[in-house]
Every structure is written in C-alpha cells, then in structure tokens.
Structure 1
Amino acid sequence: MDSKPLNNRIALVTGATRGIGQAAALGLARAGAHVIALGRTQGGLEALDDQIFAETGAHATLVPMDLKQPETLDALGATIHERWGRLDIVVHAAAVLGGISPTGHIDPKRWDETLTVNLTATWRLIRALEPLLKASDAGRAIFLTTGRVVRPKAFWGPYAATKAGMEALVRCWADEVEHTPVRAVLLDPNQMRTRMRAEAYPGEDPMTLPEPAEIAPLVVQLAQATDLGLPDRPVVFSDWKAAGGKL
C-alpha cells in the first residue's frame, strides 16, 4: 500500500486545534496531504503546524477562524480558489456541545451559538466549498456527527437538534451532487477521549475511552480518491472501532 496515499491532495480540516479535528489533520498530513487547518486559536494552530512539520517536513496552512462568525467562510472559499483552484478533502470536525440542560432552561445565547456553529456554519461551508470540491477529480467531504441524532436523550436538546439538522442538510446536498465526483460521508466517532466528551460526562474516567488518534486511519481512508465503494448518498460510519478502524 502507498505510504503517502494523499500526496498532492489539498485538505481542509475544521476544529483542527484539538480532539478529532487535530487527529484528522495530523493523519491527513502524514498521508501526504497539504492541510489547511482551521481553528479558533493561533497558538493551537501553531502547535499543530510544529507537529506536522516535525513529522513530515512540510507546513500546514493556518486559518484562525471562529465559526460563530460563519460569514468568514465565504472569504475562505475565494482564498482557496485563488491559491489552489480546487479542494480535494474536507473534514468538518468543529462543533460545540451547547451545554447539558433541560430544554425549557436552555440559555438563548447558548442556543444561538450552538445553532450557528453546528448547523449554519455547515451550510456556509458547503456553500463556499462545493465549487472547489467539484473542481477535484474526487472531492471527499467528511462530516462528524453523533449517535444523539438517532438516540436523543434528556438534556441534550441543542446538540442533538443541531446535529440532526446538519445530517439532514448533508444528505440533501449529497443527493444534489451525486452525479459529480463529490462524495459525502457522515462519521460518528462514538465515545472518544475529547474535551467535549469530558464536558458532557465530567465524572467519567477519560482513560477508559479511545484516543482521537485511533480514528485517523479511517479518516485517511475515507479521504482517498480510490474507489472504496462509497455510495452516491452519504452513509454513517459509526461502528469504526469494531471494524478495526477501517471500512
């Protein structure tokens, strides 16, 4: 197998400064992709770039951006077009939990923030990047989702509702681009050792959970241009660990 299956591919990763986004960015870079890393903190992005450079000898492109101001995604699409003319891979990992609260007690500001980051930013990302993905010979868009979409639970209203909306949006979009080289995937990482998981389950021992790095090989596999049997419409990969982290 080619040790650099993503050579010369251009990959955008949101939420790249920590957790699954960071693991995905590192995995894609190790596989040969040039990573455009999007995150909220300059320091976190620079730390990621240092690690990518130490391991690969190449730098990432760093984009400090807060998805609570999603209109900035429009300018990002134009910048990518100007520099590369295409985009081969998108991994949309950025999200917020929105707090654990009874539905009637949800703070309106937190609701608006969760809606903006988890749903509206996904629409803006698709809107800005679709032409770039279509310019690739095999555009791959990977969206992180959650089992709360199909298994709603008390106190998870903002997160479950906005992720359900995101899934519906991605499925509609995938239908629209099914006759193009673009394919969309919904990836449910399940329980994982992330800051968001710790926020939702503060009493849980994080050492009992898999590290985000364990899902990186599957992200790399899903990002490849080779025919992996991906359907025209998005599927949810949720039992990734039982499959050894592979398709």
Structure 2
Amino acid sequence: MENTEPLEGKIALVAGATRGAGRAMAVELGRAGATVYATGRTTRYHVSEVGRSTETIEETAELVDAAAGTKGRGIAVPTDHLEPDQVRALVERIDREQGRLDILVNDLWGGDVHLDMGSSEQPNMWEMDLAKGLRVLRLGIESHIVTSHCALPLLVRNPGGLLVEVTDGTEEFNRQYRKPFFYDLAKTTPIRMTHDLGEELKEYGCTAVCLTPGWLRSEAMLDSAFHVTEENWQDACEQAPHFAISESPTYIGRALAALAADPDVARWNGRSLSSGGLAQEYGFTDVDGSAPDAWRYLTEVDQSSGSADVTGYR
C-alpha cells in the first residue's frame, strides 16, 4: 500500500508557529505524518508584544493533532527564541523525547508591530525610532541565529536534515530596496543565512533552503488590514485590487510538506524558493484549487495600476 504519510516518523521543530505561515506549516507537516514541536511566545496564559490573544501555540498543536490523525502529533512548547537558555532547553527536550530532529523551520518574526508598514510614505533610516528598528532586527534575524545555533547540532546528527529559513520575498524580488530599512534587512538576511548554512550543512548530508509565501492571507492581514475573513477575502480586492493574487497560509504549508518529503531535496540547497514556484514543481494547489504565483505577478504586473488581472498567475 502506498504511504500516504510521507513524513511519518520525522521530527520537526517549527519555531514561530503561533499563527500565519508558521501555524500552517506545522499543520501540514503533521498532516504528512510528522511529530511537530510548535513554539512561540503567545499561549493561553501569556500574550506576546504582537498583541494578538486569538492565536496560541496550544491551538496550533491541537490543529496539528487534528490533521495528523494517528501518525503525527503536535507538541506546544512556549519559547522566546531570543533567550538562548530557553532554546537550549527546548532542543534538549526534543533530544530527550525523540532522539533526533529532521526538520527545523525558522519562521520567527513579530516585527510588524514596530513598523508602520501600512504607510505609503516610509521614513528614511535616520528618521526611524532606533530602539524599534533594532528590536525588528533582533526579532527577524537574531532569533533565527540563536535557534539555528542551538538546534543544528541535533539536526546534523543524521543525514537528510532540512533547515528552512522563512522570509518575505524571493532573492530576485528582494534585490530591490524594500523600505523601510530595518524591514529590508530583516527580510533579506535569511536569504544570505541560507546560502551560508547550506555550505556548512552539505558536508553532513543536510540541506538549507529559504522559503517565502506570496501575499499571505494571515489572520492579521485579514482581520486587521482588510476586515474580512478567509471565507470572504475577495471582498478586500475592492480596496486593494492586487490582493487577488493572495494565498492562504495552507499554500506555504503544502510547499514545505512537499519539500520535506522530497528525497532529492538537496538539489535546492542554498536556494531561495517560493510557494508559487514550488507549486509548479510539485503540483500542489492552494485550498481553492488554484496555484497563485505572487512574486512573478508582483514583478510583471504594474503595481501602480488600479486594476488587476491574475490570468496566467494563479
């Protein structure tokens, strides 16, 4: 009988799995049979600086359990990934309970609350609040470094391990300046980190990739930015026509699950990848059956246009 759980027996850590892409990636890894440790700072008893109490890591673990059936499992572990002692304790727990780590996903962020990303006029670097800017770099870069430093010794213990750095934008798209300054640094650095760690991991038979969703319909994007739900998200296109190319978090989750199940995943080592690009490679779709290719669309379609035509892009 064909194995319908290609990641059965695999152990994954999704760092930053409270909501959005991280939550969806945890769920889809569990659906494919993996045991998933879901970490983050917002629990049923504590809310992080992001300020959203509506999503918690416990709920993420329950969603993993529901998707996984009898094969995979979700395990919620409250962790501040800027605290090395907490991350070391997390990795020691995974080692003690599982004896291995096969998939490490660095989806740590939380910097949006320190940036006014909705403004059409972004300030120059020297006009920004320095403390907030440095906090963005800690959340988007330092947290990834701390987690990799602590977890990679367990990952490289067995060949075939996969490190996934999650960012916003492909290497090609991010060659342009994505103002404001601190956001640009936070989202381009994981791409370089992937290149560097790919060089170090390959001698252990492991792989590093950088993965980005397209225009993600995260919980915050839906309810805070556009005041819609996943059920009526297309209503937001009246405000922002190009939102028609957006994708659900499940899409990036399916991209990750396809990567993790690929026996030839090493061919992607050091590369910048996107959900839309991988959909063409592996044949998965978003929840509505479409396959949006957001970064190609954003590059090729004039963003200044008041109308949008996603024909050929999803």
CA contact (8 A) 1:70 1:120 kept: no
Superposition pairs of residues 28-47 of structure 1, within 5 angstroms: 28-43=29-44, 44-47=56-59
Q: CA deviation at 1:80?
A: 1.9
Is the CA contact (8 Å cut-off) linking 2:60 and 2:76 kept in structure 1?
Answer: no
Aligned length: 244
SS at match of 1:11: strand
Secondary structure in 2 aligned to 1:135? coil
2:174 counterpart letter in structure 1? V
CA positional deviation for 1:51: 2.2
| 1:127 counterpart residue number | 149
Match of 2:216 in 1: 192
Cα deviations across residues 125-159 of structure 1 (Å, max 9, x unaligned)? 111111111112310111112226322233x2111
How far 1:204 moved relative to its partner? 4.1
Larger radius of gyration: 2
Residues 10-37 of structure 1, C-alpha deviations (whole Å, 9 max, x = no match): 0000221110001000000000000000
Where relative contact order (Cα < 8 A, 6+ residues apart) is larger, the structure is 1
Segment of structure 1 superposing worse, 197-206 or 181-190: 197-206
Find the aligned partners of 2:164 and 2:192 in 1 and give their Cα distance. 14
Given that 1:17 and 1:41 are in contact with CA atoms closer than 8 Å, whether structure 2 keeps it comes out as: yes
Please state if 1:78 is matched with 2:114. no
- Contact 2:40-2:80 at 8 Å conserved across structures: yes
Structure-1 separation of matches of 2:208 and 2:89: 22
Residues 70-92 of structure 1: CA deviation (Å, up to 9, x unaligned): 55222222222222221000121
Q: Distance in 2 between matches of 1:160 and 1:136?
A: 34
Give the aligned partner of residue 196 of structure 2: 172
Q: How far apart in 2 are the matches of 1:47 and 1:68?
A: 22
Residue matched to 2:127:
105
Q: 1:15-72 CA distances to partner (integer Å, 9 max, x unpaired)? A: 2111000100000000000000011112312212222223324541111122343552
Distance 2:130 2:91 in 1: 30
User: Whole-Å Cα distance in 1 between the matches of residues 61 and 273 of structure 2?
Assistant: 28
CA distance 1:49–1:176, shift in 2 (3 Å):
closer
RMSD, aligned CA:
2.6
Alignment of 1:133-212 (within 5 A): 133-147=155-169, 149-154=174-179, 156-195=180-219, 204=240, 208=244, 209-212=246-249
Q: Which residue of 2 aligns with 1:220?
A: 257
TM-score, normalising length: structure 2: 0.70
Once the two structures are aligned, what percentage of the paired residues are identical? Answer: 25
- Measured in 2, the distance between the counterparts of 1:149 and 1:200 equals 25
Q: Helix, strand or coil for the counterpart of 1:42?
A: coil
Structure 1: distance between partners of 2:91 and 2:83: 15
Q: Which amino acid aligns with 2:40?
A: G
Distance 1:200 1:42 in 2: 20
Q: Tell me which residue corresponds to 1:2.
A: 3
Structure 2 unaligned regions, length at least 5: 45-55, 117-121, 227-238, 283-314
